[in-house]
């Protein structure tokens, strides 16, 4: 798949904005978007752990669940998920099973773990999405971390 350059960074900032919205409504600060092959917005999602009481309600998993209801795996292999933070193992698994072709993320899983520590609501694993995808039987392109300080900003003061 082809990189989108500045447009890709704009979508990353949009995902970070969704994370801010999620935080404002009482959810964990994570957001994600699904893009078409020309960089057009297809779907967006926010974390819903707080508002729905579902600890698996991560933005990326929510996005992939909605995407699999709408699109088949052949369609998904030419799509990009842009997310405010690196997908955790669960979300990377959801992206893999959805058939996604590419992931772009802001804050790395390691940086998130360093930022929030052993918070009981987010016991972040030190397991990069690249490692999860590498265990699979097809390639998923990964680009990130990008705009990591901007992506980290939405978490400031949240995990206390």
Residue 139 in tokens: 């390639």
Question: Both tokens of residue 145?
Answer: 């971390």
Q: Which residues contact 143 (CB under 8 A, 6 or more apart)?
A: 3, 8, 102, 103, 104, 105
> Cα angle at 84 between 57 and 62, to 5 degrees?
25
Instruction: Single out the catalytic residue among 8, 44, 60, 86.
Output: 60
Can you tell me whether residue 142 is helix, strand or coil?
strand
Mark whether 86 is an active-site residue: no
Two tokens, residue 129: 């999405």
Active site residues: 60
């Amino acid at each position: 798949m082809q990189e989108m350059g500045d447009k890709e960074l704009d979508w990353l900032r949009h995902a970070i904005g969704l994370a801010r919205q999620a935080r404002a409504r009482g959810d964990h600060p994570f957001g994600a978007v699904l893009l078409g092959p020309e960089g057009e917005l297809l779907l967006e999602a926010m974390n819903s752990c707080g508002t729905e009481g579902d600890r698996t309600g991560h933005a990326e998993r929510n996005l992939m669940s909605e995407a699999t209801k709408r699109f088949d795996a052949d369609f998904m292999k030419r799509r990009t998920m842009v997310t405010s933070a690196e997908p955790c193992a669960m979300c990377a698994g959801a992206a893999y099973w959805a058939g996604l072709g590419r992931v772009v993320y802001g804050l790395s899983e390691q940086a998130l773990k360093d930022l929030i520590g052993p918070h009981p609501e987010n016991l972040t694993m030190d397991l990069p999405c690249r490692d999860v995808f590498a265990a699979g039987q097809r390639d998923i392109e990964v680009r990130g971390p990008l705009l990591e300080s901007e992506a980290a900003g939405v978490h400031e003061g949240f995990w206390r």
